[in-house]
Structure formats: C-alpha cells, structure tokens
Amino acid sequence: MPRPNAGLLTRVAIAVAVIAILPWVVPSFLVFDLIYVAAYTIAILGLIILTGMNGQISLGHGAFMALGGYVVAVLAHSAGWPYWIGVPLAAIASGVAGLLIGLVALRLAGVYLALATFSLAVATPSFLKHYKSITGGFDGMSLQPVQAPAGVPLGGQQWLYYVAWAVAGVVFLLSALLVRGQFGRALRALRDNPIAAVSFGVNPYFYKTAAFGWSAVLAGIAGGFYAIPTAYVSPDTFTFALSITLLIGAVLGGISTFWGALVGGIVVEFLPLVAQQINAAAPGVVYGVALILVMMFLPDGIVGGLLRLTYRFRRAPPQPALESSTPSAAPVTVGPQSRE
C-alpha cells in the first residue's frame, strides 16, 4: 500500500493544529459556523468519492443528510437516545438507503442520474411534512442542546465542535484507507473507461453501489451534525438547495482531492455570509458572480488552483493529494467499441 509522503503528513498536521486552536481564538458565533463547516466537509467528502472518483453525479445528497438528521432527531426526541448513539445509527440508515439508491443508479448515468437523485432531494421535504407523527411535520422537532460531559472544561458548543471535527478526521482517514490501492483504482477505472474496467474484472455493480453507499454514510453523519448545533430540525433544514450547495462545495473546493472537501465546506458556509456583507440587498448576485469567477479562473477548484500556483512557484510537478490522478473535468465515458 502506498505510504503518505512527508508533505501530506505536514499538511494534515497543520490542518489538525489549526482546527484544534480555532475555538480558542475566534468568537463563539464562529465556532457555531465551524461546526457546520465540519458537517459540510463530511458530506462533500462523500460527493468527492462518488462524483470525483467514480463519476456518478448526485444532486440528491441533501436527502441522505435529511435522513441522517432526522434519525438523530427522532431517536433523541422520541426515545431520548443520546446523540452518540444517534449519529452512528444515522450513518447506518443513510448507508442502507444509499446502497438501495445505488442499485437504482446502476441503470442511470450522467445527467439522467443527476436528475433522478435531484428528484430525491425535491421529494424529501414533502415526505418529511407528510409523516408528521414521526417527523413533527411542518413544525419539526426540538432537541436538547449538547452539553459537555462532566469534568470536561468546555462549553457545549466547543465540545460539539471538537466531536464534529474528530468525527470528520476519522471519516477522512477511513475514506483515505478505503480508496487507496485496489478499491480506489477500481472506482477511478470505472469513471475513466467503464468498458475497459469491466474487461479487466472490475465489477461495476459492486464498486458503484459501494461508492454510493459509503458517500451516503458520510452524508448521514453530516446530517446528524447539521441537526444537532441548532437543537432543532424541520423540513426546511434540508431543502433541495442543500444538495446543490454540496455539489457547489465539491466543485469549488476541488472535486479531485480530499482537500477539496475541507475547502468546499469552508466556502459554502462562509461565502453566503461574505456575500451578505458585500451587498446586503443582493447577496445572491455576489454569490453567483463569485461562483462564476472561481469556475472561470480555477476550473479545477480552489485546491487545484493552489496546486498549480505551487507548481509555478516551485517549478516542479504538483503533488497529488490523498488520491492520485483524479480528473478535474467531467468523467470520460467510452461507448461500446466499434464493430470493426
């Protein structure tokens, strides 16, 4: 198995150190935002594996986040179960749903898959409103705010921050281990050239479904951490716009590397806030213009742009991140071989 290089370990160490220090140096309202960044980062990581590495476009990951968020909320609200049980169960529930959707997705590709998953995201709020005896309907459900365990000298919000980022670290590590070596190669081979991949023994049913399942597991966990900070969930927490936001985050951050998830999480959380400050009357316009500019000048995302900048600075080829040689463009699909 390939070993992580020294540069990668240094970058990881810096990221961990910054994340550890932040709650002590930023205002408390920013700690709240940074918990959301953790949730977005986990969900976007799932999209990077599914879309960036495997070429399956999902516009419905907000639905998996909703499932995760509601599993945590229903278990806490109705059964009084603690969050530390709810979040793993949310991951399992979402993962099972992802596997099932992944089986359906085997018959779809490209824009057809995107539209099918988008319909999932559109239907989810209506579904949540309909089954009000379980979900609380329009009114949603209130939850208990998080408290730090006895003896831990942290506020509830700070405690949640560290838990969320610790979980993010664990899922990053697990994902990195998963996609390195044979499994990751199979995912990328199916993305680059499905016919050649199948001809060399890669089972598309297994790998594509597994990718969908794992990305849904991550979305389910993210949904849990999306619901807990406000101690409240409602159908409006998980609108279809959330699914679009996740894809925007993956593309802006850089869909070719795991670091894109972290950068994408930061961008989708803070870009709307910055846009609001720049022009309170039309934040959507500022947000849109920013998106267009990034796509024009950084087509492979912010991380891709930084890598190119590093290349120019060092006059050396850019180093791949956790996984290597993933494309920044749309997946390549090769049709059936010509007959003669």
Partner 1 sequence: MPALLTVRNLTIRFGGITALNDVSFDVAEGHITGLIGPNGAGKTTCFNCITRLYQPTSGEVLFKGEDLLRCVPQQIAGKRIARTFQNVALFDHMSVLENALVGYHTRFPVGLAAWGAETAATREAMDVLDRLGLAGIANRPAHGLPFGLRKNVELARALMVRPELLLLDEPAAGLSHDEVTALGDTIKRIARDFSTTVLMVEHHMALVMRISDHIVVLASGKTLADGPPDAVRANPAVIEAYLGAV
Rule CB under 8 A: which residues touch partner 1?
1-2, 181-182, 185-186, 188-189, 191-193, 195-204, 324-327, 332, 334, 336-340
Q: How far is the CB of 114 from partner 1 (least distance, A)?
A: 20
Nearest to 164 by CA among 84, 261, 63, 68: 84
Q: How far is the CB of 47 from partner 1 (least distance, A)?
A: 18
Smaller CB distance to partner 1: residue 144 or 182?
182
Token pair of 139 as six digits: 């009114």
Token pair of 118 as six digits: 């988008």
- CA terminus-to-terminus distance, the chain: 40
Nearest to 92 by CA among 213, 264, 182: 213
Nearest to 74 by CA among 64, 63, 87: 87
Smaller CB distance to partner 1: residue 29 or 200?
200
Smaller CB distance to partner 1: residue 46 or 331?
331
Smaller CB distance to partner 1: residue 24 or 200?
200
Smaller CB distance to partner 1: residue 220 or 331?
331
Smaller CB distance to partner 1: residue 127 or 183?
183
Three-state secondary structure string covering 169-226 = HHHHHHHHHHHCCHHHHHHHHHHHCHHHHHHCCCCHHHHHHHHHHHHHHHHHHHHHHH
Q: How far is the CB of 180 from partner 1 (least distance, A)?
A: 8
Token pair of 304 as six digits: 């891709």
Token pair of 84 as six digits: 């530390």
Q: How far is the CB of 191 from partner 1 (least distance, A)?
A: 8
Opening angle at CA 305, ends 23 and 313, nearest 5:
100
Q: How far is the CB of 201 from partner 1 (least distance, A)?
A: 4
Instruction: Give the separation between CA 124 and CA 239, rounded to whole angstroms.
Output: 8
Q: How far is the CB of 256 from partner 1 (least distance, A)?
A: 9
Smaller CB distance to partner 1: residue 135 or 257?
257
Smaller CB distance to partner 1: residue 269 or 300?
300
Q: How far is the CB of 34 from partner 1 (least distance, A)?
A: 33
Q: How far is the CB of 96 from partner 1 (least distance, A)?
A: 23
3-state helix, strand, coil in the chain (%, to 5): 75, 0, 25
Q: How far is the CB of 209 from partner 1 (least distance, A)?
A: 14
Q: Which residues contact 124 (CB under 8 A, 6 or more apart)?
A: 62, 63, 66, 235, 238, 240
Beta carbons within 10 angstroms of residue 144's beta carbon: 13
**Helix axes 83-105 and 204-227, enclosed angle (nearest 10):** 150
Smaller CB distance to partner 1: residue 281 or 329?
329
